[in-house]
Amino acid sequence: MLVILADDLGYGDLGFTGSKEIMTPNLDNLANKGVVFKNGYVTHPYCGPFRSGLVTGRYQARFGIEINITNSPFDMYSGLPLTEQTFANRLQKTGYNTGAIGKWHLGGSDPFHPNNRGFDYFYGFLSGGHSYFPKNVKTHMPLLIGDDKHPHYSANEGSYQPLTRNDKAGEFNEYLTTALSKDAARFIEGSKDPFCLYLAYNAPHLPLEAPKETIEKYSHIKDKKRRTYAAMVDELDKGVGIVVEALKKSGKYENTLIFFLSDNGGPRKNGESFATNGNFREGKGSMYEGGTHVPFILHWPKGNLKTGEFNGLVSALDIAATSVAIGNGDTSGNELEGVNLIPFLKGEKKGSPHDALYWRMDDGRGWAVRTEASKFLKLNRTAAKPELFNMEKDPFESTNIVTKEVVKRKEMAKLWNNWNQGNIGNIWLQSGQYQKKRIKMYKDLYEKLEKDASKKKSLVIE
């Protein structure tokens, strides 16, 4: 099994989703020979919470993660709860060789390290982001940068630090996307079957960095930011090509279940308009479709699947459920909330894998519920009000019918309320808030120690 995850990828920026600007032949080939989920969703509109749901196969609100966890190497409490199993845990128990390559973002201290969460092998970075060029690596990156009047707290601590290979420093001597791809290829070629690899690229997430020659390939794009972003997507596609070639070379291509998706939509706020989410409204961080409706592929030649487009509701939670089912993984402990997609894709089961999908942000300040026919939501904004859309007639959420469909609104509210009964409150601080608290903690500790020292009597010896 292979899970390939992109980061902040715009829905409309791939060939198979309609892009005419950016060339993605390797991903297009997987899409053309596999299944494209036309209604494929992630469980949260930004990175950290979604990854918690992806690797556990459970809605992250079940265990209190609705924030981006800070990469904090000395905090033994901040990370994916140890009460949760990852899909790697479940497959590892039945003999799978498991690996995680790329971005982790689920805790920086030892208890939460990938090697302690079911992955036999890890190469990448524990933070929420990383620079793409080795020349930018530093042994230390200050948390607080800027000046006293304009401080900036880094949300991605570790973005300029060396990469990690298991419990040691890992070499980093070429463009990051390529380095991750080549390492994935080595893992695949060196692994005995069965194997499970979670390849989490940070491309095309900020910072916008790409090889000069690839940027020049997109010189026809006038906007400089979009030109670099396009080059990053291009490099991502090349990386996928390296990985697929390794599958073929090792004889594992035909029988490897490959998932590809993005962690959320492309960024479309704060002046950042370099990504395109097609006709979907808004993007990363939003409860509109642009935030959670992502490009999503399943490719498995030996699976005898009905290839082409699949229109039922599909969740990223289904990756764990499908993988564990196919791999006869361990199903003990907390219940997986996804669905095994294979019977639907073979035609053995009809209809949609899910009757409804759910979202929650900030303990319910923002929320959404989607059925095949309707979507009921409230944005995570102070002045936001509930909105209702007919998703069959209006998939791009252009006409709010909340005042016209009172009965439907109540039906949708009941669905969400029933689902929310199984959730708990968010436990952790958002990364920026956490970092400010930690800096204050160190300051308060120093001031106390300094005060205590001032009270000590000077020693006089005779």
Catalytic annotation, residues: 47, 105
User: Pick from 187, 137, 190: which is nearest to 163 by CA?
Assistant: 137
Decide: helix, strand or coil at residue 20.
coil
**Which among 362, 329, 370, 294 is positioned nearest to 27, based on CA atoms?**
294
- CA angle, 339 then 196 then 258, to 5°: 60
First-to-last alpha carbon distance for the chain, in angstroms, is: 76
In sequence order, the 6+-apart residues with CB closer than 8 A to the CB of 190 are none
Structure tokens at 441: 């903690």
DSSP 293: B
The rounded distance, in Å, linking the Cα atoms of 462 and 442 is 38
Distance CA 44, CA 368 (A): 10
| Bridge-based pairing state of the strands 366-371 and 374-378 | antiparallel
Tokens 């990370």 belong to residue:
79
Q: Which two tokens stand for residue 7?
A: 């980061």
CA distance linking residue 274 with residue 11, whole number of Å: 12
User: Could you tell me if 132 and 157 are in contact, meaning their C-beta atoms sit under 8 angstroms apart?
Assistant: no
- In terms of Cβ atoms closer than 10 Å to its own Cβ (0-12, 13-18, 19+), residue 351 is exposed
Amino acid at the residue 322: T
**What token pair was written down for 393?**
């007639």
Q: Which residues pair with 145 in a beta bridge?
A: 152
CA-based nearest residue to 95, from 190, 187, 193: 193
Residue 310 is which amino acid? Answer: F
Nearest partner of 35 among 357, 347, 246, judged by Cα: 347
- Classify strands 296-299 and 121-125 as parallel, antiparallel or unpaired: unpaired
Please check whether residue 358 is in contact with residue 376, taking contact to mean a CB–CB distance below 8 angstroms. Answer: no
Q: State the residue for tokens 């120690």.
A: 449
Distance, CA of 450 to CA of 142 (rounded, Å): 23
